[in-house]
Structure 1
């Protein structure tokens, strides 16, 4: 063994470092968190002088102090004035063609005609449109009409599609949980009522419960809830809806509407709305958004106003009495999900998008969860935040993850998701280490506020009938773990499962996960609370070890390991190390691209968005070292790959830590990048201790 104190000692036939004059054993390399790549594949790093001649931007130091090629193409910073000018120029250009014209290929299809602010010149658009990409339009393989028409980058393959008579034009997308535009407008105007959440907050004595004088929106009608004999009074039309047995006592002339309900009005035609009177639903017709109320006393009205969902949304259970509504659902009445023995893909920021989750499903994942969505953004109707809740039909067991700082925002978000989205469980992230989340009082900051945690969990669990799961870290500060003392309380507050990430917020990802502490948490947890472990799962050996060391664990959540090698789920199920070839890895990337084009679109904007998320993913996958190249297997998550050659040129390219090489891989799948293209990884994955996932 080398003498660390006396400088490097050469050991011929072992592992060369740097300029191939220093040698170390595999054990020494692993102790320094350097992957022991087989001798024949290692290559010396180029000298500083040769690198500086190739790179104008200089050299970067990696975590091991080695000189490396910068891993990002630095993006030019533009002023707000320049960005505004570019947006105006784009609006006036032929690039901004009308979507209706593009879809139909006919200039006269737009209903706004000359008043449309978008371009209708098809010839001008086609003249400047980039060349079509190689491959087939993803919507043709789905036997659907391409919704992007002439803007599709695979337009030349549209002529090969089946006849229109053989296409299912009415076929709905295989993605659900899209944000309804009418709901979005109501959220923008803060016109949505959350009676279940507000009733639960009021019962718990927490802030956020709304007063009696509340205002709702029914289509374009402003409705005030008044206490005039239990009537629902229309502010605009001065009409109200009454049961038939009380219509005789009203001094206002009655006009029959339908069924046993009447609209009272002397001069105006009846409005078509849908009310609930005395616990029964009177369906007059559909409307943009409808609300219902029961005839209770003034003090009870806020607890008995129930939102009926938007047209096309799934139906909800309507309680026939105040007591049915206010009571917190018993634990036995809630749907239960058994996580035991199932492979769970963690919710991952940025890279854990819907196309990536589809990839993991094809490779063996059992449970998937959407990216973390911020409650305040969901309640404000941000389309980008609602996109994180999208679900594909292949995700047979799917959850949504949210984060919030206060019980009222979390409870109302849970009620909104419960009504508007299709999911199997709701996960609340109380372990996110990202500064922007922590500084707002959410994520890991809640670990220092147990009473706030209690309020959030109780309010959320009492609002929804779906299983509520919690994701936490060991604590906020390193060496001050506290979840083991709270885990019993978390179950009493209403959680059905908890995932413990074996690091503190202060650690981020700088050290190995503390699985002994996770085992301790499980021992302190009630038997009915499912406990999941999370941290450094990178092979089936890691998974087996943790399950055998603590059989009481329900399962292990796989996070960064799936980013680097999504086939880890296949390895766990087959109990083998998959020496995957570069061609097989490229096929996985091709599937991701096809899924991305279906999700983000096959036009230029969708292609570039797919490219962006592909590059974000490649900023992780380069860290994978093929099994056939390692002298010691399996690879550990904290090992840093040295500079090495692959078994073929593609494998060598995939091992590069240069963003320029990642762009080359994207060009193999999505064509040439546009002029002035820039890319910088969002999470700086080269810094192994700064990954912002979790």
Structure 2
């Protein structure tokens, strides 16, 4: 559809709100975007008529366009979904990938035992019509890896009709890294992967255990040695003995155990023994003054204190040299003044990050991955760690509840992935994450929070960063009291989202509190702010008001208008046209087909994530339509006409209209297709909406 297409009364099926004549100040006070009056829809106009759309511009889909709410999916049981998948694989449309690549039934090594269809003729009869455009893999050397199953098979060259040897096209492998190896995945399934660095780090911190030797202290699982008096706990649940002292006590105990039992095994040397001769008396006060340890009880001089201390240092050095790293010896990472695209659940996939990189983003980060799922070798979770070659400054974000889980995960990622930093999410507000003790739940357990940071940063050379919210409960910010300890635990940077977990997204971010934390940060810890950055003016204000701030992370602002990175770099409000916005969507679709595949499954996967993204972009109000610029992120768009048909269509908050946009790029949706946005991002009146 061209920008100058014929005008129509309105193609918006479900406008956000019809606004009566009010002053600009009144609209802004009610968080309604002050759209110019000539573009506003009259209150009496019913905007459900979509028959004026030119059939050549927007293809009709078998969906209900008259609905005023998103189309809801029917909830199915796991058994029903499994049965449907099994039946789908038996259909002729579910052609064996090897047969599709080569065009020969004999190419499948499983023959009759293959779970996929080998009926080429039936597949050709039932296969949907090819989509308009050319195969996204034709720009590369070699044939399309999807062969006959490609929805652009008609554009394949004769010599590229089949792969021949059945190998996957190398283009995807060359451009994407951090792909889970199948043999290694099997080792994860069988729990046969070792984590020497993580185990050594946890032992030095007294956090290693198999679960049997743990007790509950103030609602937290702690090591049995901790609960038995090796470390004392005050009435607030805080340790009286600093973690540094615990390491030294553990080491001393290990040395004495070696003298008594004459054991040479490293695990036994570092293990706390109940029979050890050296015990810290409950009445013994341990003080920490300027890094010096003073004890009221004196160790027997005949024990050879100096010699034993040398042995302790030797043991620690042999265990893992990385554990001795001074903070300045770790790999350095600089976030200063760089445009950081936030890790975004569902929408922040690899194709979307490629779009943002092309529009000026400097730093990208993968979607949040759960540590337990990564350790279990789940392919879907490992897919969140994928990195494209265009992402020159890339990190991954993980989420876990306990130090051992997180430490093992960071070691796993450092060994098997190529990343510039690893971010630990301690601010996710989603119930399913918080109920497992991860995400924002860690904000209520500062001891465990510090242990997670310390154990993970000691286990790897890769810089470890964390992302938090200001606190858990509204009105009870607490990061300012923890930030100094977090810096001493080994984190390279901390990103502070200016809301509590309880607030979700219901209020504006508290940037004054973020500034307060940035000014109180110890040397060596970089602070990044996050929340409501929606224009280059917002970016400038934050860096002017608080020079101590290293950078700003951009999340929802980039979802609504990914060209915000261009605006910041060029210091302007870009009045982008609908045609330019459509070009961005075309790039996303092309990247999606390259990533998820150009067969029917890949096309529908690309469509699904495109629709999720469109549920955010409908919030954008073009600069040329506003009385006051720039737009604020909490402004709700009223019902308005665009400057052309496509701009009007893009303003709709109806799932039916998003589907129509997807059909312009990916063809007609399948029969019975339904969609509802995962995060309810087109709603404004609920706190959980992002």
TM-score when normalising by structure 2: 0.78
Map residues 184-583 of structure 1 onto 2, 5 A cutoff.
184-208=185-209, 297-300=264-267, 322-325=318-321, 327-583=323-579
Q: 1:46 to 1:155 in 2, by over 3 A?
A: farther
Q: 1:151 and 1:168 mapped to 2: Cα distance?
A: 14
- 1:684 lines up with 2:680 in the alignment: yes
Q: 2:371 and 2:597 mapped to 1: Cα distance?
A: 27
Offset, 1:551: 1.1
Q: 1:676 to 1:69 in 2, by over 3 A?
A: closer
Q: Is the 8 A contact 1:196 1:325 kept in 2?
A: no
Offset, 1:84: 4.1
Q: Is the 8 A contact 1:200 1:326 kept in 2?
A: no
Query: Is the partner of 1:108 in helix, strand or coil?
Result: helix
Q: Is the 8 A contact 1:144 1:168 kept in 2?
A: no
- 1:31 lines up with 2:29 in the alignment: yes
Q: 1:176 and 1:445 mapped to 2: Cα distance?
A: 32
Q: Deviations over 1:477-534 (max 9, x none)?
A: 1110000111111000110100011111111111110100000001111132110011
Give the equivalent residue in structure 2 for 1:181.
182
Q: 2:627 and 2:385 mapped to 1: Cα distance?
A: 42
Q: 1:693 to 1:372 in 2, by over 3 A?
A: farther
Offset, 1:691: 7.4
Unmatched runs of 5 consecutive residues or more in structure 1: 1-16, 55-67, 212-295, 304-318
Give the equivalent residue in structure 2 for 1:106.
104
Q: Deviations over 1:672-693 (max 9, x none)?
A: 0000001010000123365769
**1:97 alignment partner, one of 95, 100, 125:** 95
Q: 2:386 and 2:268 mapped to 1: Cα distance?
A: 34
Aligned-residue RMSD, C-alpha: 2.7
Q: Is the 8 A contact 1:71 1:657 kept in 2?
A: no
Q: 1:301 to 1:169 in 2, by over 3 A?
A: farther
- 1:40 lines up with 2:64 in the alignment: no
Q: 1:192 to 1:510 in 2, by over 3 A?
A: same
Q: Is the 8 A contact 1:683 1:691 kept in 2?
A: no
Give the equivalent residue in structure 1 for 2:146.
148
Query: Is the partner of 1:499 in helix, strand or coil?
Result: strand
Q: Is the 8 A contact 2:144 2:160 kept in 1?
A: no
Q: Is the 8 A contact 2:496 2:529 kept in 1?
A: yes
Q: Deviations over 1:379-419 (max 9, x none)?
A: 11111111110000000000000010000000000110010
Unmatched runs of 5 consecutive residues or more in structure 2: 1-15, 52-65, 213-262, 271-314
Q: 2:633 and 2:42 mapped to 1: Cα distance?
A: 23
Q: 2:517 and 2:681 mapped to 1: Cα distance?
A: 30
Query: Is the partner of 2:566 in helix, strand or coil?
Result: helix
Q: Deviations over 1:445-464 (max 9, x none)?
A: 11111100111001000001
Q: 1:507 and 1:668 mapped to 2: Cα distance?
A: 38
Query: Is the partner of 1:533 in helix, strand or coil?
Result: strand
Q: 1:425 to 1:326 in 2, by over 3 A?
A: closer
Q: 1:175 and 1:53 mapped to 2: Cα distance?
A: 41
Structure with greater strand share of residues: 1
- 1:598 lines up with 2:599 in the alignment: no
Q: Deviations over 1:45-100 (max 9, x none)?
A: 4578x96999xxxxxxxxxxxxx963411112334554344233222211221111
Q: 1:23 to 1:96 in 2, by over 3 A?
A: closer
TM-score when normalising by structure 1: 0.77
Q: Deviations over 1:339-388 (max 9, x none)?
A: 00100000001000000000000000000000000001111111111111
Map residues 595-634 of structure 1 onto 2, 5 A cutoff.
595-634=591-630
Q: 1:412 and 1:526 mapped to 2: Cα distance?
A: 27
Offset, 1:147: 1.1
Q: 1:70 to 1:693 in 2, by over 3 A?
A: closer
Q: Is the 8 A contact 2:200 2:320 kept in 1?
A: no
Offset, 1:146: 1.2
Q: 1:661 to 1:126 in 2, by over 3 A?
A: same
Q: Deviations over 1:217-247 (max 9, x none)?
A: xxxxxxxxxxxxxxxxxxxxxxxxxxxxxxx
Q: Is the 8 A contact 1:210 1:302 kept in 2?
A: no
Q: Is the 8 A contact 1:685 1:691 kept in 2?
A: no
Q: 2:18 and 2:365 mapped to 1: Cα distance?
A: 45
Q: 1:441 and 1:155 mapped to 2: Cα distance?
A: 49
Q: 1:494 to 1:161 in 2, by over 3 A?
A: farther
Question: Which range is displaced more, 73-82 or 180-189?
Answer: 73-82
Offset, 1:23: 2.2
Give the equivalent residue in structure 1 for 2:640.
644
Question: Which range is displaced more, 179-188 or 33-42?
Answer: 179-188
Q: 2:668 and 2:269 mapped to 1: Cα distance?
A: 58
Query: Is the partner of 1:619 in helix, strand or coil?
Result: helix
Q: 1:387 and 1:346 mapped to 2: Cα distance?
A: 18
Q: 2:344 and 2:568 mapped to 1: Cα distance?
A: 20
Q: How many residues align?
A: 564
Query: Is the partner of 2:425 in helix, strand or coil?
Result: strand
Offset, 1:328: 3.3
